[in-house]
Amino acid sequence: MTVRSDTSASSRPLLAALPRVPAISPLVAVLVAILLILIVPPAIFLLRISLHETMPDGSLGPFTLRFYESLFTGRFFLPSLYNTMIYSLGSAVIAIVIGTVQALIVERTNTPGRNLAFFAAILSLGVPHILYTVAWLLLLGRSGPLNDLIAFVTQQPQAINVYSMWGMILIEGIGFVPLTFLLMSAVFRSMDASFEEAAIVAGASPLRAFWEVTLGMGVPAICALAMLIFIRTFESFEVPALVGLAGNINVLTTTIYQSARRTGAPNYGESGAYSICLILIVTVLLIWQNNLARNAHRYQTITGKGFRPRIVDLGPWRYLSAALLLLLFLFVTVIPAAILVFTSFLPFYEGVNLESFGRMSLDNYVILFGPGSFRDSIVNTLILGAATATIVVPFTALCAWLVVRQVKGAVLLDHLTMLPLVFPAIILGVAFLNIFVNMPLPLYGTLLSIIIASSVRYLSYGMRYAYAGALQIQPDLEGQAAVSGASGASVFRRIVLPLLAPTLINAWLLVFLLSVQAVSLPLLLVGPGSEVMAVTLFELWQNGQVTELASMGVLWMLLMTAVSAVFHLMTRRHQMNV
Amino acid sequence: MARVAGGSGFAKCLATGMAVACLNVAVAAAQAPDASILTYTGPDRAERLIAGAKREGQVTYYSAMIVNQALRPLTTAFQKKYPFIKMTFWRADSEDIQTRMSAEIRANKLVVDIAEGTGIGELAVRAGMAQEAWSPELAGIPEYMRDPRKLWMPTRMSYFGMAYNTRLVPAASAPRTYEDLLDPKWKGKMVWPLLTHVGAPLFVTNLRLTRGEEKARAYLEKLRTQNIVNFGAGNPRTLVDRVIAGEYPIALQIFAHHPLISAGKGAPVAAQLLPPVASAPGTLVIPKGSRNPHAALLLMDFLLSKEGQTILVNAEYLPVRPDVEPLATIAPIVPSRAGVQENFVTPEKLNSHTEASAKIVEELFR
């Protein structure tokens, strides 16, 4: 395998001259170089903007440390940091617990109707995040049906206040359940049943075997996922802004956003300083996670023997698990989607009441199919999603495999691919705007520029997905192929990729769905003729055309569901062939 | 080896492409357009503009106006009038327009020819990006709305007021003055937009300008105890939607015509003007280095003309020309028609006061 052949002969004298520098495999060096080209320019932009005053014309002024100073001395920083930690941790816990339980039920039990969970998860991933949040607020808000119901029963007004920390955690956490479910089900699906069977033969109860072996083997994947959600929540904006600020709960993103926007002329100094601090925090977390991965061989479950997972017969309990799935389906998918569909037929939304039913019409759909927004941006959006996913997934699959095989220097790949996750999207958008507008290549304002930016943005998601999958493949198979004379490239293409295929197809879908939903990143990059759907949706929201937005959201959801259903069928079929 | 040869071929292609692109940029940069036409007032202005615009053949408009109701009909009407000009637009909030326009100017790669939005004109002036321009249509706009330096032009008016949910607040008991807002019965029931300079900061600026610093401060100290909710997700228009949905009974510092537009569709919402009513113009600017100044001027003339203003009126904006009537549904919130005192906050005042007002908001209300 060439990837294990460490350094080429020509680089040896140089390395000999620098004995303390660890050797890097040439393949890793090439990948690191590609990543550096993509990531360093926005990182430098962030660093520079955090260390200089921004002048009224947007240029950088004199050097200053005041943004870092105000970060630590400002009266909002510490309370915001505290709130952010609670919010991120809480959301990660909710998402992991619910998503993992759901994945276990679907992948490892004979619960009736379990395959519908995929459909449900994908359907809810198709709902634009801002609509999802609004739908939850409509449901749990002051005038929502739940408060009305409680008030009716208890005769006390204002029973629940969703504009609180628990409200934020609940909405954000549940929002991540579909993602967690998809990632964890990929992990559980590729687990070798023989480990559990061995435990049962050795005298463990099925429950204990399940708990200690199955969940135990999922630990690295769960940790990787928890970190992904933690970081993603750390920099999330919609829920903190819609839910948190209304309850006077500040988190870092809302504090920073306010400082960037309050005076009209944008000033991104504090946001830059904040991002740099966040990068440092995440680097520490990654080092910790890499230590965990050093023992990765303990979790490798895909061997040369075949790996059909064992399905547990729950007996009569399977109806309980089915009820649990149904409940999740209801809360994660049906209710937000139903509110959206309901709103899409109205001239304005004023809560769920009988009068609203009398006002229903197809007007919003008529506008939708008229000239303009929807039709203009749909092709661009599909190209954006497909291109981003097609760039990100194979690239991160290769990176993840090298990291898991601990090829020299590959740890750098892990760090570099995680970095874009901590660039707040709004800042990454400004950074790429400045990069593209100053480039000699005519990329500025084109769809290609958005594809490049979102490929960088979603590297981390592809990486986490592929990493969790690659972690489970034992090196024996590759070793045997290499011994039989296969080259590194053909081992990767003919052994690793097919084994990773179910994971990668899911990863493709995920990156596709995430990149077509992003708003802050393409907002500044789109030009006339390169409009994308999510930005159009955001504009409708900004202009108060909520009901039009809902109708566009419904169509969008249907389209995404169709795309996802095709992929789901492909995953299943592929699995049959493995 | 074939692969290496292919690689170098690709590299050659890439290098050639980059060279051509660099050349294009260099040529574009070298052809700095003649901006003298912008201030030209001679009798042959119209002919010169048309001749120049025919050569340019295009104009790019960055605007904060709503797409389907305003930008599309504007584009259609403009292109019908000047079929030799291809008009393209990009819609974004004023802050994003400013960010993008300044990035283009600094890179000497200007795509925008004319930009419009609330506050955009003065932001561009402060950044040294605005060019002086003249239009015969300015004569139709009241002098107090115009920039004496002619660096920006007013395009539409915004009047700020209060929205309330008519199911939660009966019209008879709704606050009618700033003092009424201090009534304890509204404690915790009011909300204002936080993350925009025309939100809470303009509320404070209006009071500082009309009452003086000390009296404004004393009033705001009292208002502080009313626990106003800070709305951070979206602009004032989205806040009105939350009021309609019944999330908040009263929203302060919103565009006063928005509740009326929704009420026209049957929504349970009403607008209330609190005297003195803050008003501010949307402004347009032709940035320095505009590559199509003739076409930009024709578009500017069109936007300020009766014809252009009528299109904006039909998109439910409020006109700057007295000879263009606002829509009857939203006309009641124009202070002069309602018999209510108006405080016209010029873009200069808005800009010079916002920073300090935002600090007061942060100190007292967060």
CATH code at position A387: 1.10.3720.10
Contact yes or no for A15/A501 (Cβ under 8 A): no
| Chain B residues close to A59, C-beta within 8 Å | 102, 106
Q: Does residue A79 form part of some domain?
A: yes
Q: Which residue has the higher pLDDT, A59 or B33?
A: A59
Instruction: State the Cα angle at B341 between B339 and B347, rounded to 5°.
Output: 130
Confidence check: pLDDT of A68 > 80 = yes
Tokens 């083997």 belong to residue: A217
Q: What confidence score (pLDDT) does residue A577 get?
A: 38
Hey, are the CB atoms on A263 and B201 less than 8 Å from each other? yes
- Own/partner pairs for B334-340, CB < 8 Å, 24+ apart? B334/B157, B334/B159, B335/B159, B335/B273, B335/B275, B335/B277, B335/B279, B338/B273, B340/B273, B340/B275, B340/B276, B340/B277
Within 8 A by CB and 6+ apart from B282, the residues are B64, B116, B117, B118, B120, B154, B155, B156, B157, B158, B317
Confidence check: pLDDT of B260 > 80 = yes
Confidence check: pLDDT of A97 > 50 = yes
Strand B342-344 vs strand B277-285: parallel, antiparallel, or unpaired? parallel
Q: Which of B21, B232, B266 sits opposite A442 (nearest CB)?
A: B21
Q: What confidence score (pLDDT) does residue B243 get?
A: 92
Which domain covers residue A176, as residue numbers?
23-48+66-343+362-577
CA distance A38 to chain B (A): 17
Q: How far apart (Å, rounded) are the C-alpha atoms in residues B75 and B360?
A: 41
| Chain B residues close to A56, C-beta within 8 Å | 123, 126-128
Torsion of CA B122, B123, B125, B130, to 10 degrees: -100
CA distance A531 to chain B (A): 9
- Among A52, A147, A348, A521, the strongest candidate for a mutation testing the B interface, having the largest count of B CBs within 10 A, is A348
Q: How far apart (Å, rounded) are the C-alpha atoms in residues B122 and B151?
A: 8
Q: Which residue has the higher pLDDT, A176 or A236?
A: A176
Q: What confidence score (pLDDT) does residue A80 get?
A: 86
- Among B109, B122, B317, the strongest candidate for a mutation testing the A interface, having the largest count of A CBs within 10 A, is B109
How much is the average pLDDT of A429-451? 87
Average predicted confidence (pLDDT) for chain B: 88
Q: What confidence score (pLDDT) does residue A21 get?
A: 45
Confidence check: pLDDT of B213 > 50 = yes
- Among A239, A251, A262, the strongest candidate for a mutation testing the B interface, having the largest count of B CBs within 10 A, is A262
pLDDT digits (tens, 9 = 90+) for A455-510: 998 998 888 788 877 877 777 777 777 787 777 788 888 888 888 887 788 788 88
Within 8 A by CB and 6+ apart from A56, the residues are A265, B123, B126, B127, B128
Fold that domain B17-156+281-314 belongs to in CATH: D-Maltodextrin-Binding Protein; domain 2 (3.40.190)
Confidence check: pLDDT of B237 > 90 = no
How much is the average pLDDT of A163-186? 88
Instruction: State the Cα angle at A53 between A51 and A55, rounded to 5°.
Output: 145
Q: What confidence score (pLDDT) does residue A87 get?
A: 95
Q: What confidence score (pLDDT) does residue A226 get?
A: 84
Confidence check: pLDDT of A6 > 50 = no
Confidence check: pLDDT of B133 > 90 = yes
Cβ-based neighbour number of residue B305 at 10 Å? 18
Confidence check: pLDDT of B20 > 60 = no
Instruction: State the Cα angle at A522 between A520 and A528, rounded to 5°.
Output: 135
pTM score of the predicted model: 0.81
The 3-state DSSP class for residue B117 equals strand
Task: Using the Cα atoms of residue B62, residue B66, residue B72 and residue B77 in order, give the sign of their dihedral.
Answer: negative
| Full DSSP string of A180-240 | HHHHHHHHHHT--HHHHHHHHHTT--HHHIIIIIIIHHTHHHHHHHHHHHHHHHHT--HHI
Contact yes or no for B153/B217 (Cβ under 8 A): no
Per-residue tokens: A313: 């017969």
Judged by average pLDDT, the poorest of A235-244, A313-322, A327-336, B25-34 is B25-34
Give me the amino acid identity at A199. A
Q: What confidence score (pLDDT) does residue B31 get?
A: 54
Within 8 A by CB and 6+ apart from A440, the residues are B18, B21, B22, B25
Give me the amino acid identity at A157. P
Q: What confidence score (pLDDT) does residue B343 get?
A: 96
Q: How far is CA A37 from its chain centroid?
A: 23
Task: Using the Cα atoms of residue A407, residue A412, residue A414 and residue A417 in order, give the sign of their dihedral.
Answer: negative
Closest CA to A409 of A10, A14, A33, A13: A33
Judged by average pLDDT, the poorest of A39-48, A327-336, A373-382, A504-513 is A373-382
Residues 504-523 of A with CB under 8 A from B: 523
Nearest residue on chain B to A60, judged by CA atoms?
B106
CA distance B141 to chain A (A): 26
| Full DSSP string of B211-254 | H-HHHHHHHHHHHHTT-PEEE-SS-HHHHHHHHHTTS-SEEEEE
Confidence check: pLDDT of A15 > 80 = no
Q: Does any CB of chain B come closer than 8 Å to the CB of residue A242?
A: yes
Q: Does residue A7 form part of some domain?
A: no
Hey, do B17-156+281-314 and B159-280+336-365 end up sharing a CATH topology, with the first three levels equal?
A: yes
Q: How far apart (Å, rounded) are the C-alpha atoms in residues A555 and A367?
A: 13
Range of A75-79, A113-117, A483-487, B302-306 with top mean pLDDT: B302-306
Tokens 């993992």 belong to residue: A100
User: Beta partners for B13?
Assistant: none
Residues 67-96 of A with CB under 8 A from B: 76
Q: What is the ipTM of this complex?
A: 0.76
Q: Does residue A59 form part of some domain?
A: no
Nearest residue on chain A to B237, judged by CA atoms?
A544
| Chain A residues close to B119, C-beta within 8 Å | 264
Q: How far apart (Å, rounded) are the C-alpha atoms in residues A251 and B8?
A: 51
How much is the average pLDDT of A374-403? 89
Q: Does any CB of chain B come closer than 8 Å to the CB of residue A527?
A: yes
Per-residue tokens: B16: 């050639």
Confidence check: pLDDT of A290 > 70 = no
- Among A350, A369, A547, the strongest candidate for a mutation testing the B interface, having the largest count of B CBs within 10 A, is A350
Q: What confidence score (pLDDT) does residue A299 get?
A: 55
H or E stretch covering A253: helix A252-261
Within 8 A by CB and 6+ apart from B292, the residues are B33, B53, B56, B58, B59, B60, B113
Contact yes or no for A277/A205 (Cβ under 8 A): no
Rg (CA), chain B: 24
Nearest residue on chain A to B65, judged by CA atoms?
A543
Hey, are the CB atoms on A264 and B100 less than 8 Å from each other? no
**How many beta-carbon pairs below 8 A join chains A and B?**
181
Contact yes or no for A533/A377 (Cβ under 8 A): yes
Give me the amino acid identity at A59. S
Per the structure, the count of domains in chain A is: 1
Nearest residue on chain A to B200, judged by CA atoms?
A262
CA distance B57 to chain A (A): 16
Domain ranges of chain B: 17-156+281-314, 159-280+336-365
| Chain B residues close to A250, C-beta within 8 Å | 366
Nearest residue on chain B to A430, judged by CA atoms?
B99
pLDDT digits (tens, 9 = 90+) for A410-426: 888 888 888 887 777 77
H or E stretch covering B116: strand B114-118
pLDDT above 90 as % of chain B: 68
Per-residue tokens: A361: 């019409």
Hey, are the CB atoms on B107 and A55 less than 8 Å from each other? no
- Among A49, A352, A437, A548, the strongest candidate for a mutation testing the B interface, having the largest count of B CBs within 10 A, is A437
Confidence check: pLDDT of B296 > 90 = yes
Confidence check: pLDDT of A194 > 80 = no
Q: How far apart (Å, rounded) are the C-alpha atoms in residues B86 and B60?
A: 8
Per-residue tokens: B113: 């020819």
Per-residue tokens: B342: 């108006």
| Full DSSP string of B44-112 | THHHHHHHHHHHH-EEEEEE-S-IIIIIHHHHHHHHHH-TT-EEEEEE--HHHHHHHHHHHHHTT----
Contact yes or no for B48/B264 (Cβ under 8 A): no
How much is the average pLDDT of B132-154? 95
pLDDT digits (tens, 9 = 90+) for B72-109: 899 999 999 999 999 999 888 887 888 889 889 888 88
Q: Which of B99, B240, B247 sits opposite A430 (nearest CB)?
A: B99
Query: Dihedrals φ, ψ of B269, to 5°?
Result: -145, 150
Q: What confidence score (pLDDT) does residue B4 get?
A: 33
Q: Which CATH class is domain B159-280+336-365?
A: alpha beta
For residue B148, whether the previous peptide bond is cis, meaning omega lies within 30 degrees of 0, is no
Closest CA to A284 of A229, A235, A227, A236: A227
Max Cα distance, chain B (Å):
87
Nearest residue on chain A to B88, judged by CA atoms?
A528
pLDDT digits (tens, 9 = 90+) for B52-69: 999 999 999 999 888 878
Q: Give A52's DSSP letter.
A: E
Residues 266-325 of A with CB under 8 A from B: 266
CA distance B44 to chain A (A): 33
Rg (CA), chain A: 25
